Structure formats: structure tokens, C-alpha cells
Amino acid sequence: MKKTVALLILLACAADTAFGETLSLDGAWQIVFDHRNEGRAAQWYKQKTFESLASKRTIQVPSCWETIEQDYEGAAWYGLRIRVPAAWKGKLIRLRFDAVNYRAEVWINDQPAGFHEGGYTPFELTVGDLLRSGEENFLAVRVLGPVLTKDTILDGIGPNETPHWRGAITGGIWQSVQLVASNEVYVSRVFVQPDIKGSRVVVRTEVENASRKVRPVTLELVLDGNAGGARREIALRPGQNVVEAEISIPNAKLWSPEHPNLYTLQAALSEGGSVLDRAQQRFGMREFVIRGRDYYLNGQRIFIKAGFWEGLYPHTLAFPPNPDIVRREIRLAKEAGFNVLRPWRKPPAPIILELADEMGIMLVGAPPIECMDYWPQLAPETEQRIANEIREMILRDRNHPSVIYWELFNEIVRPGLARLKQGMSLLARGLDPTRIVIDESGGWAEGAHAYPPYGYEPVAINEVHSYRPAPVSPQTYDLYLRLPQQGSDARMLGRSAMKAPDGLIFVSEVGYGAFPDLPANVERYKREGNPLTPDYRYHVLLLEGIEKAARQMKWDEIFPDTAALCRASQRVQAEGNRIQLEALRLNPRIAGYCLHAYTDGDWVIGAGVLDLFRNPKLVYETVKRVQAPLYIAAKVDPPNVSEGQTAQLRFLAVNEQGARTEELTWEIAGPDGNVRHRRSNKVSIAAGISTLLETELPPLGPSGTYKVRVRAAGYANEHEFFYLAKKDLQVPAAEFAVLDPKGELTPFLKTHGLHFREFSGAGNLPVIVATDTSRNAETLQQFTQVIAHVKRGGVAVFLKTPGIRTVPKRVENELVRTGVFPFKTRLRAARGNWDPVNHGVRPHPIFEGLPVKDFMGQAYLNVCANETIEGIQEPPIVGSLSYEWGTTRPDANYHGPRNVWWGSDLVEVPYGSGRLLLSTLRITENLGQDPVADKLFYNIVRWAASRH
């Protein structure tokens, strides 16, 4: 009589044998940190030797070992006594690790059992012959962790040569471990390939036959309560066998974020009527593709609103401490309008994928390969290591409908990695024909390409990374609104400039950061955290650094405490991100964006919409508003308006719903909060992007910040703009001298009737210097005379401060180098990115009539500084607060932010008997174009005259 075997398809990519038995090995293990890497030679894998070591400690598995040994990079040994059930005798027993970082070498009862390289994916070893059933056994695991910051070589692996994630060391056995007992025939891997057009799935099952003879089996698959199935008679040869079967699914319920429908495939493998194995596999019917310039989900165009998901968790670092925190993350993301999350450069913990499937959030799958200039460092083994990470990630995660595509590389600048793009993409295609493969996010190495499902020829796309400062300039807004327009503005994209003008455009990194509520976060860390972990330490250090810098800058005149400073930072983040995302949504050529970031993390601690404890920042509600299915934008052009100037008020809509006719109500509130104008108009809101109303800005009242509020179809939005009345833009009567060798300032002075003289070296007038460099010996002499004038008791204003630049390369300034300028000033970038650089304004006569006692908001969108001055110790009038990411770029990883530093954007400095006013504000280039620049300049003239 023929024997038959029943097959069970499992939830994980490597099947769990539900019919068999599982013994969890999670819990307390022993660990010895091998600081001198001597354990292998000393045979620490032997139970007697290991247990005699005095340096043994207890560690919980799973956990990252840096939770008990601060910043440990090196080798360590794990030991565990385990009792195997007597009933397992004769069973096939496998030892399964969900992830060990980076290399794991395993011994059982002093005998070698196998090894694995790769820190973020599962592996298993067949170990039944090494175990004594019904008795106690000893398991030893030697782990070589990643070397990230130390200048050392560990077993041939040098610094940063292992693929890794930057958020933590993630050392050791950081995911679950278990023993699995099964029959000799078992499922090793299952892949369910949905075909929504064909209303079917193709099931590819890998079955291991560990016996030494051919086994005739019957494979039975049943879909969700007899809704469909398949049956196969198979002769399993010893070793691995691949079985393919098709199952029809008429009128399939498709998986989407709105309707995360999941199917369960039941299977059984029986022999002579006796069931040997039983399990199940969840999957979803889903198709995600690129067609032309757009993404399509299940045949419908979809605009991607993604968030950069750092995946760093307080205390546990690389994995969530419980499912509830993941449920909260996904729920908050969906409520804020995100439909995709981009886990940052590591395969997520399995619970994240399972909950994403269930709750309906799409994910980007990416291996732990960041690229750029430093991760990983190139070695002869690099290609093999990268291939291994990609292979094991895809094999683990390809059954999850939430994963919509594979993103293999990120921001490649080195030829040694660029040469791997095609080969790795084809590897991914062979492992998973059903998904898009993106060869490189950012497209720095000759552009980005998408391999369509079942396709082997890449299609050029635009994968854009763009970080612009807040307040958001008109140039940035126009750039995002008009992509893929070429030209000078497009060059702001740098390495991500449009390389496929007719292709899909996905702005996969964009956004601006802010400080979380550091006092509250630090208080919580001190109450419940672990001082050994880097997240605890850099939160504390960042708070201490900010408080010290704020005292030196006299920011107590702006913010009553550090919590208020953090909230002010978050207001800038909220408005900056709203404006940038608004421009992208109003651009019909954009297929989507990914906001950097959804959650805070490591050295991009300020990036998130949520902080590290998953508390929403102020920006959360703003992002929720801008990502609504119906978004109505209010625009004032120009954004800063003066009395008598013609300005346009426009209302535009992005409508992801059906066309409709609605009542549009709008009003303008003045600086005192009182409504000065209110109107209602019947408007047609088309599907897609449309202009609802254009009108001239009506007359306003006193100077200050005004708000346009708009409401339609239950949606409300508001937009701020700044207005200056004529009486507040009076030309000053004071006379002054000007040194303007390049003619940058004089035309404005003449046009607007200011009282000035060309600087001659004589006289006692305050001097305004328009440039920071000398053109010739004559000009150098004039600078010398200006400084002498100040030393005698005069006043000089440097609208552009001389200083030495060191990034990206050192650029000497002749005035500083020669000592003509009396201060060794350095100029450093203060652009913002996700590093929350904010510009605080102290109350001062130069800012009379302008917003003060806050960070610079959108009123300063044109004049806010791009550079800040280091080397001046006087408290600034306008100052910038920054932090470093590490002493060197490769150090910008789990250590987080450090070395808080501050600079001056506008500062008054005594010299001799006189005064210097030094500025990096962008005043000169905006005179006559922005009334705020005019107002600042007029105030500077009056201040200089009063100080003279």
C-alpha cells in the first residue's frame, strides 16, 4: 500500500511545524564577553570550560548585548543548559535562530553544529544527532558582533565591513531561539505568489526529505474553509524537493490599506491515513506596480504618502518590546494619512510584518545596506555578504502582502558598490518575481531603476532625496511644485537631480526635524531606562548640551525653559513640513514622497513626527492635515507683503475623492486675532489638483502676522503671512558710509533714497560693509581703514561676515588669513536638514516691528541664515543651535548626536573703543524684493546711528 504524506504551509518564510513540537529557548542565558578574542583557542565552547569562567554573566535572550555591556564591539560566548524531551528521541530536531548579529558559531555538547553569517535574518541547523533526548544538554554559541567604531580586525572582519543598521550595535542573539522536532519530511520554505488578474495563487513549496529513500506523498492544500484547493501526488527524493500548485480564487478579496484582507491556506501531509505534519500560511491578494509615471495598487492609481520608520525602540533598541507599541505606531501612521512606512535599512522584526499585514500599512523591504561613503566598507567578501543579506531577507519576507517592493541599495557614491546594482537586482528578481525591485534609493550612482514584476529589464525612474531648511524659501517651494523642471533650482537636488525627466518621480526622502520634548524624555529615561544603552545617553547629553548653549546665548530672554525651546522647534518643523509636503502634493508629476521621518532615531533624533517613545510631536497634527484625502491650500504671493503692493490670494485643492461642488469659506485674521475679512464662494472641486479661487489680497491694517483660514467640505486649513504697513517701512533719516566694492548694495540705496556716502577712510559716520572679501590691494586697504575706524570708537556693520569655511573643503578668507579682520571667525552650515537647526531671535532694536522671542518662522523665509559664525563668544542677537553626528562620518551611527554647538547669525561685538555688527542673514540679496529684508536693513541703519 502506498504511503502518503500531508503538507502544511506556514506563516513564516521558513515553515514552523505546528504538527510537531517546539521548545522555546528564550529566557536567561549565560554570556562571557571575550575582550581579547581568546575563547576559540581556549575551547570555551566546552561546557566544563565555559562554566568555570569567572566572568560569566546572565543575559536575556532575545536582547542586544549592549544593554548589559556598554558599546561592546567584539566577540562573546553564550551558554545554555537545555533538557530535550525524551519523547523527541528519533525525531528530526532543528535549532532555529531568528537573528544573531553578526556571525554565529554553534556547538552542542562540545561538538560543532554549524555556523551562520548575517545579522538580521533567521537560520536553522539540524542537530538531533548531537542532542541527548530526555537528558540535559549544553548549547554554546560564539558570536562575532559587528565592528563599527573600533580600529580593529576581528577574525578577518574589519571596521564597518559587515552589513549593518546604524541604530544600535544590535550585538548577539537579539531575536528568539527555539528547538523544533518534526518528522523526517518537513516543509523548509513556502512562497505564495498572488495573481489577481488570473484570480489564482501559485504556491511554491520546498520540502525536505531527510530520510535516505524516496517517499511517495500526497500534498493537499485547502483555502479558507474549502473555498478552493489543490492535490498533488509526489515522489519525494532525499534532500530538497520543490512542489508547485495553483489554486483558483474566484472573486478574490484584495489586500489594501483600506481593506487588509488576508487568506489562510491550510495543508495536510498524511501517510497511511496518519497525519504527520500540519500548518497554515497567511497571504494577501495584492498587486503593486509602476505604470508610466505613477504607482498602481490593485489596478488603481495611488499616491504614496510614506514615512521613514527608524525602527529604534527605547531600552530594547533594535526590536519592539511588545506588539502594542507596533500597533500604536501603525494606528497613528494610518490616522495621519500615511499609507506606506519605509523601515530604515534592516528587515523588520517579524511581529512588525505580521501587524502591518493585519492592520493595512504598506512597507518597503530593505536589507541592512546603507551605502553612502562608509557602510559597508569594501572588502573581497562584500559582494557575497550583500547577496546573503538580500537573499535571506527576501526568502523570509516575500509572503507578506504589506511589503510592496524591495529597495536594495541607498545613496551609492562608491564604484565598488555601484557595480553590484544589476547583479543584486537580478538576484532579487529570481527570488521574488511578483514585486518591484528598486536598485538604489536616491539614484546617486547613475540614477535609480525599477525592475517591474516578472521583468528583467530595468526602467529608469527618479528617486529623489532632498533636504531643505525651514523656514521654507520660495525657491524650495517652487522646486517641489515644478519637478522635474530643469535649471538652477533643480540643482538644489544635488546628486538626486532628475536623471529620467520622463519617468516616475518619487521624493523618497524629504523633511525637516525638531527637538522632541527632551526634558520629559530624559525624565522618563532616568525613571525606567538603562544608562548603558546609547539612546539613554545621547538624550541626556543632548539635553545638557542644549541647556549649556542656551545659557551662553542668553536664550532665557526667548524661552522660559528647555521644554518651551523644544516646542518652538517643533512649531518650525510643523510649518516647514506642511509647506514642503503641500508643494509636492500640488505637483501632478509627483507619484509620492517619503517624509523623513515618521519616528525619531539615533543621530537623526530630531527627524520624527513621533519621538522615540512614540509620542506625537506638534508636527503630527500638521502632517495629518496636509495628508488628508481632501487638502485645501491657501497661498499668498508674495509671502511677505507691504502696504500698496499687489498680492494674490489663491486657494488650491488636492482631491483624492470624487468631484464635488462646495461652499468655500475663507477669512483673514489680523495680528490681534480679529477677523478683518470674511467671504464665501461656491466652488467646483475637481478630482485631482485644481485651483478653486484666485483673488487680490484685500487691504489690511497694522503690521504683523496675519492668518488666512479656509474651510470647505468639513476640511479646515490656515496659512500665515507677514504684512508691513507703510508707516513701518519709513526710510531712515540717518546718514552712513558704505563700503561696496562689488556694487551689491548701492543700487538699492539710491533707488530708495537713503542718505549715504562712499567710505573714504575719513569721517565719523557708521560704516556698512556689503561684502566679505577684498578684490584688490586698494579694497584691502579700505577694509583696514574700516577696522581702524572701529578701534577708534566707530561702528561698522558687516552684512556678510568674513570667515573661514572648512566644509566641504577648507576655503581661506583673505581678510581673516591676513589678520585685517580682527577675529578668527569660522563659518559653518546651518541649513537644517533633519538636524533641527533653528534660529532664535532675542528682543533687540534691529528687530523692532518683526517677530522676536521665538525661532525664525516663515516671516524670515528669505533672510534666514544658511551659515552661522563660530568663534564669537558674545551672546548673539540671532543665534543658531546645532549638534554634531560624530567626530567622523562613519561614527555617525548608534552613538547618536553629540557636541552641541552654537553660532551667531547676527551679533554685536566690541572691538577697541567701537562696535562691530556681524551678520550671516541674507539681507543684501533680498533688499527691494522682501519687505522684511528692507525692514531689517532700515533698523540696522538706525541702530548703527544710535550706537555711533
d(CA 223, CA 248): 9
| Burial grade of 664 (CB within 10 A; 0-12, 13-18, 19 or more) | buried
Q: What is the pLDDT of residue 890?
A: 53
Q: In percent, how much of the chain has pLDDT > 70? A: 96
d(CA 697, CA 695): 6
What beta strand segments (E) does 411-547 contain?
436-441, 448-451, 459-466, 505-510
Q: How far is CA 853 from CA 406, 839, 856, in A?
A: 47, 11, 9
Q: Give the pLDDT band of residue 5 (cuts 50, 70, 90).
A: very low
Q: Please answer whether residues 643 and 726 qualify as being in contact, where contact means their C-beta atoms are separated by less than 8 angstroms.
A: yes
pLDDT in tens, 135-158: 999 999 999 999 998 999 999 999
Q: Please answer whether residues 934 and 913 qualify as being in contact, where contact means their C-beta atoms are separated by less than 8 angstroms.
A: no
Pairing of strands 826-829, 867-870: antiparallel
> How high is the mean pLDDT of the chain?
93
Nearest to 417 by CA among 407, 409, 425: 409
| Three-state secondary structure string covering 531-557 | CCCHHHHHHHHHHHHHHHHHHHHCHHH
Nearest to 148 by CA among 466, 526, 557, 603: 603
| Three-state secondary structure string covering 577-643 | HHHHHHHHHCCCCEEEEEECCCECCHHHCCCCCECCCCCECCHHHHHHHHCCCEEEEEEEECCEEEC
Q: How far is CA 396 from CA 188, 426, 672, in A?
A: 11, 18, 59
For the cut 80, the answer to whether the pLDDT of residue 814 exceeds it is: yes
Q: What is the pLDDT of residue 13?
A: 35
Q: Which of 347-361, 370-384, 479-493, 614-628 has the lowest mean pLDDT?
A: 479-493
Degrees (nearest 5) of the Cα angle 880, 882, 883? 165
Q: Give the pLDDT band of residue 273 (cuts 50, 70, 90).
A: confident
Cell readout for 928 is 527691494
Q: What is the pLDDT of residue 374?
A: 81
pLDDT in tens, 436-459: 999 999 999 999 999 999 999 999
pLDDT in tens, 312-351: 999 999 999 999 999 999 999 999 999 999 999 999 999 9
CA dihedral angle for residue 436, residue 437, residue 440, residue 445, rounded to 10 degrees: -110
pLDDT in tens, 609-660: 999 999 999 999 999 999 999 999 999 999 999 999 999 999 999 999 999 9
Average pLDDT over residues 678-683: 95
Q: Please answer whether residues 896 and 859 qualify as being in contact, where contact means their C-beta atoms are separated by less than 8 angstroms.
A: no
Q: Give the pLDDT band of residue 9 (cuts 50, 70, 90).
A: very low
Stated pTM of the model: 0.94
Nearest to 172 by CA among 13, 293, 57, 334: 57
Q: Give the pLDDT band of residue 811 (cuts 50, 70, 90).
A: confident
Cell readout for 847 is 528687530
DSSP states along 338-398: --EEEE-SSPPPHHHHHHHHHHT-EEEE--S--BBTTBSPP-TTHHHHHHHHHHHHHHHHT
d(CA 868, CA 827): 6
For the cut 50, the answer to whether the pLDDT of residue 6 exceeds it is: no
Higher pLDDT among residues 372 and 398, named by residue:
398
Average pLDDT over residues 185-210: 92
The type of residue at 163 is P
Average pLDDT over residues 729-739: 96
| Three-state secondary structure string covering 290-328 | EECCEEEECCEEECEEEEEECCCECCCECCCCCHHHHHH
Q: What is the pLDDT of residue 11?
A: 31
pLDDT in tens, 904-947: 999 999 999 999 999 999 999 999 999 999 999 999 999 999 98
Q: Please answer whether residues 47 and 135 qualify as being in contact, where contact means their C-beta atoms are separated by less than 8 angstroms.
A: no
Element (H, E) at 779: helix 777-791
Cell readout for 564 is 518651551
d(CA 569, CA 549): 15
Could you tell me which residues are beta bridge partners of residue 265? Answer: 223, 281
pLDDT in tens, 40-79: 999 999 999 999 999 999 999 999 999 999 999 999 999 9
Q: In percent, how much of the chain has pLDDT > 90? A: 83
d(CA 673, CA 345): 46
Q: What is the pLDDT of residue 219?
A: 86
Residue indicated by cell numbers 566644509: 807
For the cut 90, the answer to whether the pLDDT of residue 886 exceeds it is: no
DSSP states along 680-702: EEEEEE-SEEEEEEEEEPPP--S
Q: Which of 270-279, 699-708, 710-719 has the lowest mean pLDDT?
A: 270-279
d(CA 917, CA 908): 5
Pairing of strands 704-712, 660-669: antiparallel
